Amino acid sequence: MRRQDQIAEARKLLAHLDRRTTALADGIYRNPVSDYTCPRQAAREGALFFRDGPINIGLSGLLPRPGDWMTHDYTGVPMLLVRRDDDTLGAFLNVCRHRGARVADGCGSGARSFSCPYHGWTYGVDGSLVARPEDAAFAAADRPSHGLRSLPVVEKHGMIWVGPRPDMALDVDTLLDGAADDLAAYGLQSYHHYETRVLRREMNWKLAIDTFGETYHLNYLHPDTVAPLFHNNRATFAAFGRNHRMIAARRTLDELRGQPEESWDLFAHTAIVYVLFPNTIFLFQRDHVETWHVFPGERPDSCAMYVSLYIPEPAAGDSARRHWDNNFNLLMATVELQDFPTCEGMQRGFSSGAQDSIVFGRNEPALQHYHRSVRAALGEAESRLAAE
Ligand code: FES
Ligand SMILES: [Fe+2]
């Protein structure tokens, strides 16, 4: 976030504290329960958001050095990403061109090539087929046209996106829709990846996004964990196309009042949440960034996600590691023991017939914006299909 915006946001938050208010939407918004339960909608979301992408993979720090590689299967499309010698990223379908086996599994570093475990066809880090046993038996299938299928990949402002279909266009600036400058100012390319954890829960994937969409619940759901640190129901909101930013006030924010505006440090006194539509959350917590990448599971009421912690300097030594471990454990305990069990209860309640819709208050503008955006995106796709 640019400096002048930080000061403007701090002013707004201080005004909210003074007036005991928060950012407000124009009215309430009723979100149909089917948004979280309908198999037909889940199928449309899977096709539109996850198989047609684009998919934000995380920050550049996931693959910092040439030869670093990772696989990604959360969309149902098997993908392989690798940092090449010229420092650019390659992305491929993780599908052997012989008979379709997975070429790589997990993640690693120092790769010079990838050898398929089935019959040993070997691909360079540029995806080209560089060797295959009994080459003569395949003479009629020339090597140049049997490299791994490339996927579009873009690395920009320290973030990585992949398109899960080989022929799709990836336009990151349109995607960020005005949030690019805001995000570029964080220098995300300089962050170091500390750890990634994977969670699977019995709830719709959008409930995980909703978890980070308001500060109205802090005093009630998190009296001993988050509430001592953050003000309840005091936040600013800004939309960037279908993305949005919410800034939550820490209880220390009042300290700014005694300081000249030029020296205000917004980061020290807030948590800044970005939702990059549709399934990615960046959470700036003072000196570090947490990213959440949430994906639908097999059913509308299941999901999988990975959570990564990125830190400003590499963790050197035991005490630094202890510090970041504690940080990560606290975050995960709050979410896993408080937020997500609540979401799973909501998910079960959705099927009970208690109500056809849930209601987002005027004080929940981020949730309103997010769910209106989901609806708009699905509606647009539907009209496109109808027109075809
Ligand atoms: S399937 Fe990969 S080498 Fe045969
Ligand atoms: Fe929470």
Residue 37's pLDDT is what? 98
Least confident of 26-30, 94-98, 288-292, 382-386: 382-386
User: Which residue, 244, 235, 203, is CA-closest to 216?
Assistant: 235
pLDDT at 11: 98
Buried b (16+ CB within 10 A) or exposed e, 338-371: bbbebbeebbeebeeeeeeebebbebbbbbbbbb
Mean pLDDT (the chain) is: 96
Collapsed DSSP state (helix, strand, coil) of residue 17: helix
Ligand 1 pocket: which of 80, 95, 99, 113 to mutate (most atoms <8 Å of CB)?
Answer: 99
Residue 133 Cα to ligand 1 midpoint, Å, equals 10
What pLDDT, on a 0 to 100 scale, did the predictor assign at position 369?
A: 98
Q: Is the pLDDT reported for residue 256 higher than 90? A: yes
Model confidence over 47-64: pLDDT tens digits? Answer: 999 999 899 999 999 999
Tell me how many helices (H) and strands (E) the chain has: 10, 19
75: pLDDT strictly greater than 90? yes
- Give the model's pLDDT for residue 178: 86
Query: Ligand 2: distance of its center to the CA of 85 in Å?
Result: 42
pLDDT per residue as tens digits for the range 162-178: 999 998 999 998 999 98
Hey, which residues does 72 pair with through a beta bridge? 79
Give the pLDDT confidence score for residue 383 in this predicted structure. Answer: 83
Least confident of 170-179, 253-262, 355-364: 170-179
pLDDT category of residue 212 using cuts at 50, 70 and 90: very high
Residues around ligand 2, an ion, CB closer than 5 A: 339
- Alpha-carbon span 214 to 237, nearest angstrom: 10
User: Could you tell me the pLDDT band of residue 87, with boundaries at 50, 70 and 90?
Assistant: very high
pLDDT for 280 equals 98
Give the DSSP letter string of 305-348.
EEEEEEESS---SHHHHHHHHHHHHHHHHHIIIIIHHHHHHHHH
- What average pLDDT does range 12-35 have in this prediction? 98
Class of domain 3-52+178-387: alpha beta
The pLDDT tens digits for 119-166 are 999 999 999 999 999 999 999 999 999 999 999 999 999 999 999 999
% residues pLDDT > 70 (the chain): 100
Top CATH class of 69-156 equals mainly beta
pTM: 0.96
75 alpha carbon – ligand 2 mean position (Å): 26
Instruction: Ligand 1, residue 132: give the atom nearest the CA.
Output: 3
Which residue ranges make up each domain of the chain?
3-52+178-387, 69-156
Nearest CA to ligand 1 atom 1: 99
Residues with Cβ within 8 Å of 142's Cβ and at least 6 positions away in sequence, in order, are none
**Side chain identity at 162, as an amino acid letter?**
V
Q: Name the closest ligand to CA 232.
A: 2
pLDDT at 308: 98
Give the residues surrounding ligand 1 with Cβ less than 6 Å away: 96, 98-101, 116, 118-121
pLDDT exceeds 90 at position 182: yes
> Which among 299, 293, 206, 278 is positioned nearest to 52, based on CA atoms?
278
Assess whether pLDDT exceeds 90 at residue 386: no
pLDDT at site 364: 98
Q: Give the model's pLDDT for residue 384.
A: 83
